[in-house]
Structure 1
């Protein structure tokens, strides 16, 4: 076909996959990608007498997890595909009919978790060849959908309210984790309300306790509160949680549990008391004890942690005894409390994050530190991948969360020659890394935990 007879499409177009039950999904037209790809989660292989099939879930609308479509298709192939970031992953390949404007044709689709990407679908050059030319300066040349059109196409998948009113208590509505929890609650038919910690205040009264919002508005009663609290507002946010508790709301993580988990010294003492294996850790008040403190944790290299550190910030590797003495004494000179901890060399910059909900490990990922870093932290340029943990690691994660009385927790474990060791427990664990690494809908699992606690039966 000559270039003069090729149709022109924009850099973005609406696609329909009738055989998958997807009436509209926005695709980025990407001639740099060979094969087309689509966002898919909860991918399950089904082996039958007629060959292999897979079932999977698609969230077709950008930044909206409240609409989910269950799909199934025959497995055409399984390939190693390298993403734009250079990471190779094994993906299932299916064939499906796609409709763009008035044209319908068959294409190959690789299925991958694209939740962190801007588009739920990429249309690659194999689908474009001998059919289209791209005008990158335009979008939606073949078809245009307004918001009302999208609503009409998906209104049969929109759930009605099921009775629960849930508040997300946090500081930034735009954070990935907070958006995901709001979407998951809406998807399950609940009324979700975002409450900014720093815009709420309290009235203490034996007969009529209240929480008010900036401007004097009285906050309505909630069935449940999901706390997502940044360290700098822990004290105030926990006061709010106690107030909501007094008003009869169920708090997914209680103020007492959060406060205890944020006190790294107390938490470390509790771990040791309950025979939870941790790296050898020391704590001292005076610089006069620095030399023995270093010896106590098996010498340099060693880890120095600020008691209020979070997401790998405030954690230092001292590679020599002299460096360790300098850092420890510098912190002591400004009256900053620190923990000193043995360095687990054999971990090779890796740790494991176990996500615990309701006394079960629902997901786990292995994190690899960025080159030149010692701490496996995806917030500082590290990478994450799904991992199957051992029974011993699973028991350790569950015990640590239970000991701190946290229904929801991110439990960090490191593998050592002595077996798994507990690093720390996070009471407001992020969802982005673990959902992207595992393809699991952790936000949905958190909402389900609230339903179970409140004995709500889903319609």
Structure 2
């Protein structure tokens, strides 16, 4: 394998995931290029071979435009900007999953508090029982995710966030604040962990103090996970499953999954697997030219 120039598009180069990717880029004999989406692209003097986007929800739309511009320079992008945008948007993800009969929690979109009420025939909130989950469309790491126990609390969330759009989703108390994260690279599930929220918290995100342990997938879950990633066109993703009375449901497919927790609990070198997969995609691109 030639010495490839691999660009990491991120605002946070100091965090574990960025550090591990750079470490494995170097260990596999390649050159890392670190690029913040806020930097002017005319300053980028080296043409990258591969792009690894690590874009958070902060100023997301602008960062995706930068990713799209970078894709015209490189042979490979993990994940492509168009697919990245859909996967980051919880409403677009829900629409794609439900339209293709992939099990996911019942979800409704409100353009404002009044539209949420109108969408529920103005008498009953969205045909869902309280409490319900309310989410910002491009939230991550548990931020922008709320538990609402009344119409008044939903109104307060709209006021607090200032968002024009939020989604309202069925809450499954039987999950007991747990979910399953599967780390997918290409068409393979490389690691799985079960996350559990800390006492008094309904969100299981490790960034919010949740704990994790390695676990096995139940029958049918692997097929569900891979079907979701193929549909969304993701080459690297963290797919979250909720085990409920309705069966296993896909919550989301994160196109920028963190490495720290799942490498720790699975004891697998996922950063190396990502770089190896990028190498394989680059080889395929070169041979198909």
Tell me which residue corresponds to 1:314. 144
- Is residue 341 from structure 1 mapped to residue 169 from structure 2 by the alignment? yes
CA contact (8 A) 1:221 1:249 kept: no
- State the 1:259 CA deviation: 1.0
- Is residue 409 from structure 1 mapped to residue 240 from structure 2 by the alignment? no
What's the CA shift string for 1:20-49, capped at 9, x where partnerless? xxxxxxxxxxxxxxxxxxxxxxxxxxxxxx
Pairwise mapping of residues 179-258 of structure 1 onto structure 2 (< 5 A)?
179-199=19-39, 201=40, 211-213=41-43, 218-258=44-84
- Is residue 304 from structure 1 mapped to residue 134 from structure 2 by the alignment? yes
- State the 1:293 CA deviation: 5.6
- Alignment RMSD: 1.8
Structure 2: distance between partners of 1:262 and 1:448: 24
What's the CA shift string for 1:95-122, capped at 9, x where partnerless? xxxxxxxxxxxxxxxxxxxxxxxxxxxx
Q: Which has the larger radius of gyration?
A: 1
> Under a length normalisation based on structure 1, what TM-score does the superposition of the two structures give?
0.58
Which of 249, 267, 273 is the matching residue for 1:439? 267
Structure 2: distance between partners of 1:236 and 1:288: 32
Show structure 1 runs of 5+ residues with no match. Answer: 1-160, 202-210
CA contact (8 A) 1:282 1:296 kept: no
What's the CA shift string for 1:121-164, capped at 9, x where partnerless? xxxxxxxxxxxxxxxxxxxxxxxxxxxxxxxxxxxxxxxx8421
- Is residue 178 from structure 1 mapped to residue 18 from structure 2 by the alignment? yes
Structure 1: distance between partners of 2:283 and 2:45: 24
SS of the aligned residue for 1:194 comes to strand
Structure 1 runs, 4 residues or longer, greater than 4 Å off: 290-293, 331-335
Answer 1 or 2: which has greater helix percent: 2
SS of the aligned residue for 1:198 comes to coil
- State the 1:331 CA deviation: 4.2
What's the CA shift string for 1:274-312, capped at 9, x where partnerless? 101111112234254365563512x11221112222111
SS of the aligned residue for 1:266 comes to helix
Q: Aligned pair in 2 of structure 1 residues 343, 239: CA closer, same or farther (>3 Å)?
A: same
Show structure 2 runs of 5+ residues with no match. Answer: 285-289
Which of 327, 340, 350 is the matching residue for 2:153? 327
SS of the aligned residue for 2:105 comes to coil
Tell me which residue corresponds to 1:294. 125
Pairwise mapping of residues 367-446 of structure 1 onto structure 2 (< 5 A)?
367-446=195-274
Structure 2: distance between partners of 1:241 and 1:272: 28
- Is residue 264 from structure 1 mapped to residue 264 from structure 2 by the alignment? no
Structure 1: distance between partners of 2:280 and 2:84: 21
Tell me which residue corresponds to 1:154. none
Structure 2: distance between partners of 1:430 and 1:392: 25
- Is residue 164 from structure 1 mapped to residue 37 from structure 2 by the alignment? no
> Under a length normalisation based on structure 2, what TM-score does the superposition of the two structures give?
0.90
Q: Aligned pair in 2 of structure 1 residues 260, 389: CA closer, same or farther (>3 Å)?
A: same
What's the CA shift string for 1:340-396, capped at 9, x where partnerless? 111111111100011110021111100000000012111111101111112411111
CA contact (8 A) 2:56 2:140 kept: no
CA contact (8 A) 1:306 1:339 kept: yes
Number of equivalenced pairs: 277
CA contact (8 A) 1:287 1:332 kept: no
